[in-house]
Amino acid sequence: MQKQEIGQFLIEDQNDILIINWLFFDGLALEKNKKGLYGYIDTEGKLKIPWQYKEAYQFYEGLARVQNKEGLWGYIDTEGNLKIPYQYKYGADFHEGLALVKIENGLYGYIDKEGNPIVECQYDLAGDFHDGMANVLDNQSRLWGYIDKEGNQIIECQYDLAGDFHDGMAEVGNSKKWGRLLGYIDKNGKLVIPYQYYNAWDFRNGMARVGNSHGLEGYINKKGTMILPYQYNFLCASNFQNGLALVKIEKGLYGYIDKEGNLKIPYQYKQATSFYEDLACVQNKEGLWEYIDTEGNLKILCPDYKDIYPFWDDFALVKNNKGYGYIDKDGDQVVQCQYKDAHYFHNNASIVVDNNNNKFVLRKGIKNISV
């Protein structure tokens, strides 16, 4: 693997910073000063968009929602230009090109990235768009249904629980008819999988986790067929990543199963994570940390680290007695362990704090100091 250069940049005006968001989105990270105002820094630690917002959030789909001192919400671009004027009582992040907004009368609707109203503000509550559909609450019946991106009511309001659509399916509930049991509908509103689950999660890659009344979990396919039977303790099973799901047995050991329910990587780890960038963090029975691939092969042995974390942007955060640093997928130390606090790389940059509480941005692709 070709080694990447890493630059370190001191964050400007950090004595005035109260809170900083660790992750960069669209090359900017959110921070809050001691006066309670938000702004954004770039990947060289410079204040790109000045502290001026009462509330602010990270960038999604090129725009960030911000609140002015009068309490109204609008949207800015990555240059700090106000693209959609302050006029909303609330504004959500953009999803699939549309954002949920709330106007003066307390009703919700949707706008596009030019600020054009796409779906009239008419709902007491509503959710973000996923798979081209959004859940909305009927003001009279207080039940949920679904609309499309033109505002057409595709599925009538009839549920008291309505999840987001993923893989063309959404989990729903109707307590008056079925108590607390949940089932799944398709995008036409057809009940594809009957009400039978005490817990139900989104479909991902054609499979969903479901739970029974005994607190056990299993996995179903989109036909409702039980692919993996109820056998996993609550909160000890994960969604599938790289075709594998992390599961834990009663003895407290972790392993990985495939989508047919086969034990692909045996129960042998004291701690483990899901797969990220084709690698997972595991702690063996001797207490040593390792990275394994999807075949269970040892890829990186980490005897010198107290903690290791998943790979993001080809780097992984690690910790030894000297502090936090980073390794690459060859296991080589690309940033020495020296920081008292640090976070994942995201968008090729990370924020770290040294032992003197100085805050820095580490940035890939540039070399200005030995780190």
Residue 303 has pLDDT above 50, yes or no: yes
pLDDT tens digit sequence for 354-370: 999 999 999 998 776 65
Residue 39 has pLDDT above 70, yes or no: yes
Residue 236 has pLDDT above 60, yes or no: no
What pLDDT does 192 receive? 97
What pLDDT does 235 receive? 44
What pLDDT does 298 receive? 97
Residue 170 has pLDDT above 60, yes or no: yes
Poorest-pLDDT segment among 14-23, 122-131, 232-241: 232-241
pLDDT tens digit sequence for 190-199: 999 999 999 9
Residue 169 has pLDDT above 80, yes or no: yes
Q: What is the mean pLDDT of residues 232-247?
A: 72
What pLDDT does 5 receive? 86
Show Cβ contacts of residue 257 under 8 Å, excluding neighbours closer than 6 positions: 228, 244, 245, 247, 263, 264
What pLDDT does 4 receive? 75
What pLDDT does 234 receive? 44
Residue 185 has pLDDT above 80, yes or no: yes
- What separation in angstroms does the CA of 58 have from each of 39, 75, 76? 10, 11, 11
Which has more pLDDT, 367 or 114? 114
Structure-block tokens of residue 208: 């969903």
95 CA to centre of own chain: 13
Residue 2 has pLDDT above 70, yes or no: no
What pLDDT does 370 receive? 59
- Compute the mean pLDDT over every residue in the chain, rounded to the nearest whole number: 93
Residue 141 has pLDDT above 50, yes or no: yes
Q: What is the mean pLDDT of residues 128-157?
A: 97
What pLDDT does 175 receive? 86
What pLDDT does 371 receive? 65
pTM of the model: 0.90
What pLDDT does 232 receive? 66
